Chain A
Amino acid sequence: MRDLSHADAKSAAPLRRPRLIIEPTRGWARLNLRELWLYRDLLWLLALRDVQLRYKQTVLGIAWVILQPLVAAGIFAVIFGAFAKLPSDGTPYLLFVFCGLLPWNLFAGAVQRAGNSLVGSANLISKVYFPRLIIPLASVFAVLIDLGVALGVMALLMIVYQVPVTAQILALPFFLALALIAALGISLWLTGLNVYYRDFMYALPFLMQVWLYASPVAYAAALVPEQWRALYNLNPLVACIEGFRWALLGRGAVTFETVALASVSAFGFFISGVLVFRRIERGFADVL
Chain B
Amino acid sequence: MSNVAIRVEHLSKAYRIAHQTSRSRYHTLRDDVTNALRAPLRRWHAPAAERQQPSELFYALDDVSFDVHEGEVVGIIGRNGAGKSTLLKILSRITEPTRGRAEIYGRVGSLLEVGTGFHPELTGRENIFLSGAVLGMTRAEVQRKFDEIVAFAEVEKFLDTPAKHYSSGMYVRLGFAVAAHLEPEILLVDEVLAVGDINFRRKSLGKMHAVSRSGRTVFFVSHDMSSIRQLCQRVLWLDAGKLKMQGTAEETTLRYEAANLATAQASDGHFARAPQPARDFYIEWVELRDREGKPRAQYRFGEPMEIVFALRGQAPQDGYTVEWVLFNERGNRISFGAANPVRDVYFNRGDNRISCRLESLPLTTGSYHFYLSVRVWGLARWDEWEDQVAFRILLCDPYNSGFDIPAGPGGDFVLAQQWSVIRA
- Which positions in A face B, CB cutoff 8 Å? 10-11, 13-14, 17-25, 39, 41-42, 44-46, 49, 52-53, 56-57, 124-130, 196-199, 202-203, 206, 282, 285-287
Contacts of A287 in B (CB 8 A): 25
Contact yes or no, A22 B44, CB < 8 A: no
Contacts of A21 in B (CB 8 A): 101-104
Contacts of B298 in A (CB 8 A): none
Q: Which of B35, B47, B96, B137 contacts A282 (CB 8 A)?
A: B96
Q: Which residues between 105 and 127 of chain B lie within 8 Å of chain A, taking CB atoms? A: 105-108, 110, 112-113, 116-117, 119, 121-122, 126
Contacts of B106 in A (CB 8 A): 17-18
Contacts of B107 in A (CB 8 A): 18
Q: Which of B35, B92, B133 contacts A199 (CB 8 A)?
A: B35
Known: A128-B92, A197-B44. A202 touches B32 (CB 8 A): yes
Contact yes or no, A17 B94, CB < 8 A: no
Contact yes or no, A128 B135, CB < 8 A: yes
Contact yes or no, A128 B110, CB < 8 A: yes
Contacts of B35 in A (CB 8 A): 199, 202
Contact yes or no, A14 B133, CB < 8 A: no
Contacts of A128 in B (CB 8 A): 92, 94, 110, 112-113, 116-117, 134-135
Known: A129-B110, A203-B40. A53 touches B117 (CB 8 A): no
Known: A127-B112, A127-B116, A199-B36. A286 touches B15 (CB 8 A): yes
- Complex CA distance for A56 and B70, rounded to whole angstroms: 46
Contact yes or no, B96 A127, CB < 8 A: no
- Complex CA distance for A128 and B102, rounded to whole angstroms: 18
- Complex CA distance for A56 and B162, rounded to whole angstroms: 11
Which A residue sits closest to B101, measured CB to CB?
A: A23
- Complex CA distance for A25 and B97, rounded to whole angstroms: 9
CB distance from A54 to the nearest CB of B (A): 10
- Complex CA distance for A42 and B27, rounded to whole angstroms: 31
Known: A57-B121, A206-B40. A22 touches B93 (CB 8 A): yes
B165 interfacial contact with A, CB 8 Å: no
**Can you sample 6 A-B contacts with CB below 8 Å?**
A10-B3, A20-B108, A41-B133, A46-B130, A127-B116, A128-B134
- Complex CA distance for A13 and B97, rounded to whole angstroms: 27
Q: Which of A17, A45, A198 contacts B133 (CB 8 A)?
A: A45
Task: Given contacts A19-B104, A199-B43, A286-B95, list 12 more A-B pairs with CB under 8 A.
Answer: A17-B105, A18-B105, A22-B102, A124-B116, A124-B134, A125-B94, A127-B94, A128-B113, A197-B47, A199-B36, A202-B40, A203-B36
- Complex CA distance for A203 and B42, rounded to whole angstroms: 11
Contact yes or no, A52 B94, CB < 8 A: no
CB distance from B70 to the nearest CB of A (A): 8
Contact yes or no, B25 A45, CB < 8 A: no
- Complex CA distance for A201 and B324, rounded to whole angstroms: 45
- Complex CA distance for A44 and B139, rounded to whole angstroms: 10
CB distance from A247 to the nearest CB of B (A): 35
Contacts of A124 in B (CB 8 A): 116-117, 134
Known: A21-B101, A128-B110. A203 touches B95 (CB 8 A): no
- Complex CA distance for A286 and B91, rounded to whole angstroms: 15
- Complex CA distance for A208 and B337, rounded to whole angstroms: 58
